[in-house]
Amino acid sequence: MVTNYKEKGMSIGFVPTMGALHEGHISLIHASKKQNDITVCSIFINPAQFNDLRDFEKYPKTIDKDIYKLVTSECDILFMPDREEIYPASLPNVKHYNIGYLEEILEGKYRPGHFQGVCRVVDILLNIIKPGKLYLGQKDFQQCKVIARLLTLINLEDTVRIVICPTMRENDGLAMSSRNMRLNDEQRKTACFFPESIRFIKEHIGKESIDSLLEKERKKLGEKGFSVDYLEVADTETLKPIKHWDGKQGLIILGAATIGEVRLIDNMILE
């Protein structure tokens, strides 16, 4: 179906998702619709990218609501493959993607195998959809870097352009996420302290040392009941940690913290 459109010279924008769609996903659809003739959204809860089986089993599924949201946002095509279509039992996975140190830091460190699973599914989906542009959310900033590296590895860097869209947030600042619906009322109220900490660091960099800012905010989050995996200031290009800022380098503050059973990730870029 997509091939027909391509043969007619139409541009294809692609928004890969795992469903339980929210305004963040829909903002990607809107961005794609503005820049392409045809927008394809995929919904596939990718087992290969879950390092925690419980997280996979508990991943929210709201397919009827998702379809409604895609229809109202005028998404052209929904691609909803089953597991066998993406990972045929007859074709065992042998591919390893050399994404280098990105796999060892931040999310990579805390979710072993996660980015291999992301690369695997994105590689397969790109081969099926063959888009000209790929729409990704800044919320998963490290994932954007990994997928950029993947495009080079699979020789698509000149064929597919990545468009990174801003993180959509709830009124209290919490980054929208499919996992947020698993927070109970109390956890949901507490959750906003996580982006608040990131914002605080962002606003105070240059006024006190990065180490002391990070230490204070990690401690604050701990006291609020978060279990913090990481809270770091890093170079926007390389994602390598920054201890002393020269005032010129692009910076990003990234964090991952769990409240109850829900792991939140977020980041903010220092312009």
Strands 12-17 and 38-43: parallel
Q: Could you give the residue numbers annotated as active site?
A: 25
To ligand AMP, the closest distance from the beta carbon of 20 in angstroms equals: 7
What torsion, rounded to 10 degrees, do the Cα atoms 139, 142, 144, 150 define?
-160
Q: Which of 32, 36, 142, 177 binds ligand AMP (CB under 6 A)?
A: 177
* Interaction between residue 168 and ligand AMP (CB under 6 A): yes
Q: Which of 2, 102, 119, 136 binds ligand AMP (CB under 6 A)?
A: 136
To ligand AMP, the closest distance from the beta carbon of 145 in angstroms equals: 12
The stretch near ligand AMP (CB under 6 A) out of 19-27, 76-84, 88-96, 213-221 is 19-27
Report phi then psi at 147, rounded to 5.
-70, -35
The stretch near ligand AMP (CB under 6 A) out of 3-11, 52-60, 135-143, 212-220 is 135-143
The stretch near ligand AMP (CB under 6 A) out of 85-93, 171-179, 237-245, 248-256 is 171-179
* CA pair distance 191, 66, nearest whole angstrom: 24
* Interaction between residue 13 and ligand AMP (CB under 6 A): no
* Interaction between residue 267 and ligand AMP (CB under 6 A): no
Q: Which of 13, 108, 117, 137 binds ligand AMP (CB under 6 A)?
A: 137
* Interaction between residue 39 and ligand AMP (CB under 6 A): no
Task: Show the site string, 46-85: x = touches ligand AMP by CB under 6 A, - = not.
Answer: ----------------------------------------
Q: Which of 176, 221, 234, 264 binds ligand AMP (CB under 6 A)?
A: 176
Per-residue three-class SS string for the chain = CHHHHHHCCCCEEEEEECCCCCHHHHHHHHHHHHHCCEEEEEECCCHHHCCCHHHHHCCCCCHHHHHHHHHHCCCCEEECCCHHHHCCCCCCCCCCCCCHHHHCCCHHHHCCCHHHHHHHHHHHHHHHHCCCEEEEEHHHHHHHHHHHHHHHHCCCCCCCEEEEECCCECCCCCECCHHHHHCCHHHHHHHCHHHHHHHHHHHHECCECHHHHHHHHHHHHHHHCCEEEEEEEEECCCCCECCCCCCCCCEEEEEEEEECCEEEEEEEEEC
To ligand AMP, the closest distance from the beta carbon of 222 in angstroms equals: 25
Binding residues for ligand AMP, rule CB under 6 A, total 17
* Interaction between residue 265 and ligand AMP (CB under 6 A): no
Name the residues that contact ligand AMP, by CB under 6 A: 17-18, 24-25, 27-28, 136-137, 139-140, 165, 167-168, 175-178
